[in-house]
């Protein structure tokens, strides 16, 4: 069975949320997401699994001062659904980095109250943020979005509780991540707030950005980020491109040098 940390909404608010491009989702809390005995650190930045990438992947949640656990999804303990709202998730290539406000509790309380669904129900702690990365294996039954096949794709998702309502732990305009050598950062373009944005990105198996996902699981702005509040870092020219520019510039420089020499020779002749 699946659980979510989300605010209770009226029907009108629910309809409105689906009409908008996207909102931050509640923390992924599932009875098959288990956390290790000890936390990773108290850093806001965590490593993301390489998932076939030659480059180190990482993410910064914008959250600091709380312990973070690198939790994983174990589908053999959850035969009815998956922590994703729309997609089935790999049993190995997944990670749910979860920042937890212990409220004075010992970190061992997390492991003692595994899985995350039990931890949330314990009333002992607060879950203040998540950065999830997982490989998708298919669409869940009843999926209504615009995708037909996501097997082998990857999803990177930033989650904050209660859709950002009264959520003081969610730092604005500070989240970022690197995926397959490309950096992405939240800029708040268009007045979008981090806690109220979709923050849900879909990549193919080669690390290419396919776009971002809205609240119905539909792919938005295929290949781009317009309207999401996020931006993609502009990459420097590839070495081959720089070499080509250099080769192109050499004849130009030689031509300028010849003109200068011809001008100097003419000036001497007139003298």
pLDDT per residue as tens digits for the range 134-150: 999 999 999 999 999 99
The three-state secondary structure class of 4 is strand
**Higher pLDDT among residues 234 and 83, named by residue:** 83
Least confident of 8-12, 17-21, 165-169: 8-12
Going by pLDDT thresholds of 50, 70 and 90, the confidence category of residue 239 is very low
Instruction: State the average pLDDT for the chain.
Output: 78
Going by pLDDT thresholds of 50, 70 and 90, the confidence category of residue 27 is confident
Rg, the chain, Cα only: 24
Across 20-32, average pLDDT: 72
Q: CA-CA distance, 234 to 209, in Å (whole number)?
A: 14
Across 62-70, average pLDDT: 91
pLDDT at 236 over 60: no
> Beta strands 200-203 and 209-213: pairing type?
antiparallel
Record the pTM. Answer: 0.77
Q: CA-CA distance, 195 to 212, in Å (whole number)?
A: 16
Quote the distance between the C-alpha of residue 25 and its chain's center: 13
The pLDDT assigned to 162 comes to: 52
pLDDT digits (tens, 9 = 90+) for 176-198: 999 999 999 999 888 888 887 88
**Higher pLDDT among residues 246 and 200, named by residue:** 200
Q: Check: CB of residue 59 under 8 Å from CB of residue 40.
A: no
Q: How many CB atoms lie within 10 A of CB 190?
A: 10
The pLDDT assigned to 167 comes to: 53
The pLDDT assigned to 173 comes to: 62
Q: Is 51 exposed, middle or buried (0-12, 13-18, 19+ CB in 10 A)?
A: buried
Q: CA-CA distance, 70 to 41, in Å (whole number)?
A: 10
Q: CA-CA distance, 183 to 176, in Å (whole number)?
A: 7
């Amino acid at each position: 069975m699946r659980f979510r940390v989300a605010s209770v909404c009226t029907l009108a608010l629910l309809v409105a949320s689906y009409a908008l491009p996207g909102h931050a989702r509640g923390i992924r809390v599932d009875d098959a997401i288990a956390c290790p005995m000890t936390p990773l650190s108290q850093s806001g930045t965590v490593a993301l699994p390489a998932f076939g990438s030659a480059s180190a992947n990482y993410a910064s949640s914008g959250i600091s001062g709380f312990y973070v656990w690198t939790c994983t999804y174990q589908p053999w303990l959850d035969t009815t659904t998956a922590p994703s709202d729309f997609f089935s998730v790999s049993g190995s290539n997944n990670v749910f980095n979860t920042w937890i406000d212990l409220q004075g509790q010992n970190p061992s309380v997390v492991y003692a109250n595994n899985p995350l669904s039990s931890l949330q129900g314990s009333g002992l702690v607060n879950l203040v943020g998540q950065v999830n990365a997982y490989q998708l294996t298919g669409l869940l039954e009843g999926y209504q979005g615009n995708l037909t096949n996501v097997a082998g794709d990857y999803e990177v998702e930033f989650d904050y509780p209660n859709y950002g309502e009264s959520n003081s732990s969610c730092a604005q305009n500070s989240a970022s991540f690197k995926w397959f050598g490309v950096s992405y950062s939240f800029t708040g373009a268009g007045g979008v707030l981090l806690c109220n944005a979709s923050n849900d990105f879909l990549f193919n198996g080669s690390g290419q950005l396919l776009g971002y996902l809205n609240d119905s699981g539909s792919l938005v702005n295929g290949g781009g980020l317009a309207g999401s509040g996020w931006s993609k870092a502009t990459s420097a020219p590839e070495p081959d491109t720089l070499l080509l520019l250099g080769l192109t510039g050499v004849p130009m420089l030689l031509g300028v040098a010849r003109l200068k020499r011809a001008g100097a020779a003419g000036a001497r002749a007139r003298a």
